[in-house]
Amino acid sequence: MNPHQLSGKVALVTGGNSGIGLASAHAFAQAGARVVILGRRQDAVDAAVQSIGHDAVGVTGDVAELDTHDRVAAEIRQRFGGLDIYMANAGVALIEPSPEVSVAHYDQQFATNARGVFFGVTKTLPVLNHGASIILVSSIASAKVLEGHAVYAASKAAVEAFARSWALELKDRCIRVNVISPGPVDTPILEKLGLPSAARAGLDDAMAAAIPLARMGRPGELARAALFLASDASCFVTGANIRVDGGMALT
């Protein structure tokens, strides 16, 4: 890790208290950025801030609520004056066959995964610095049909569409907009599916078997892709969708 790669930069990671977001927040901080994380659970946000160190800042709020983004943008303006890296990572997955999807489950996934990303970015635009990097987290589910993933996949397809539009809309401010599409990654999101432990083990094995590199991803491997997109190493990359999935989309 180059401790100066993001020196002088300010980064915001939504869902930065867990999994891929937490690993990315660690990576950004270790590369010299001032990091702000946003999550819903105060205790998890506090613990993450402790573990990240480097004067990380924690904010609690729900990305589905538009007020959250106004509050976060105001806090960033007041503390730092502006923002260089916005990683829209917070997301939820509710896996079930389409006939069983309730309106509440449909709305929860779109409110968090799509609306939360859309208004998170648009409401933060006034504090984004010239040359900022926006990183949106999608999923392999938008590229590959996975059982029970119809609504989740559609919410992530929306994220990819936002990225393509914004890459052009924001070009005059030299703001780059890119997507990371993880394959299955070993994070707490899998616990949140609520599967019994035997079913969970079976799911892990099935996912590993479907991945050409024959294992699930690790949060730190996604964080490396995020660091690439956050830094000048990707200065000529915009509108890209980087799959970090062990080759799963190919099968």
Q: For residue 198, count CB atoms less than 10 angstroms from its CB and return exposed for 0-12, middle for 13-18, buried for 19 or more.
A: exposed
Alpha carbons 105 and 110: distance in angstroms, whole number: 9
Q: If you search the block for the tokens 């990707």, which residue do you land on?
A: 234
Q: Which is nearer to ligand NAP, 129 or 208 (CB)?
A: 208
**Identified binder of ligand NAP from the candidate list 92, 134, 135, 167, rule CB under 6 A:** 92
Count CB neighbours of 78 within 10 A: 9
Q: Which stretch binds ligand NAP (CB under 6 A): 3-11, 94-102, 181-189, 232-240?
A: 181-189
Q: Which of 28, 86, 152, 166 is catalytic?
A: 152
- Footprint of ligand NAP on residues 112-141 (CB under 6 A)? 112, 116, 137, 139-140
Q: Taking the CA atoms of the chain, what radius of gyration do you get in angstroms? A: 17
Task: Give the count of alpha carbons within 13 A of 158, CB side only.
Answer: 17
**Identified binder of ligand NAP from the candidate list 5, 10, 11, 21, rule CB under 6 A:** 21
Q: For residue 47, count CB atoms less than 10 angstroms from its CB and return exposed for 0-12, middle for 13-18, buried for 19 or more.
A: middle
- Tell me if residue 152 is catalytic: yes
- Footprint of ligand NAP on residues 36-65 (CB under 6 A)? 39-41, 44, 62-64
Give, in degrees to the nearest 5, the angle at Cα 112 between 195 and 20: 65
Shortest distance in whole angstroms from residue 171 CB to ligand NAP: 25
Alpha carbons 188 and 47: distance in angstroms, whole number: 15
Token pair of 231 as six digits: 């830094």
Shortest distance in whole angstroms from residue 138 CB to ligand NAP: 7
Q: Is 242 in a helix, a strand, or coil?
A: strand
Token pair of 209 as six digits: 């078997």
**Identified binder of ligand NAP from the candidate list 10, 20, 52, 76, rule CB under 6 A:** 20
Query: Does 192 engage in binding with ligand NAP (CB under 6 A)?
Result: yes
Shortest distance in whole angstroms from residue 126 CB to ligand NAP: 21
Own/partner pairs for 202-208, CB < 8 Å, 24+ apart? Answer: 207/183, 208/184
Q: Which stretch binds ligand NAP (CB under 6 A): 35-43, 96-104, 125-133, 236-244?
A: 35-43
Site string for ligand NAP, 197-236 (x = CB under 6 A): ----------------------------------------
Query: Does 90 engage in binding with ligand NAP (CB under 6 A)?
Result: yes
Query: Does 93 engage in binding with ligand NAP (CB under 6 A)?
Result: yes
Token pair of 67 as six digits: 């007020």
Please list the active-site residues: 152
Give the residues lining the site for ligand NAP (CB under 6 A): 14-15, 17-21, 39-41, 44, 62-64, 89-93, 112, 116, 137, 139-140, 182, 184-185, 187-189, 192
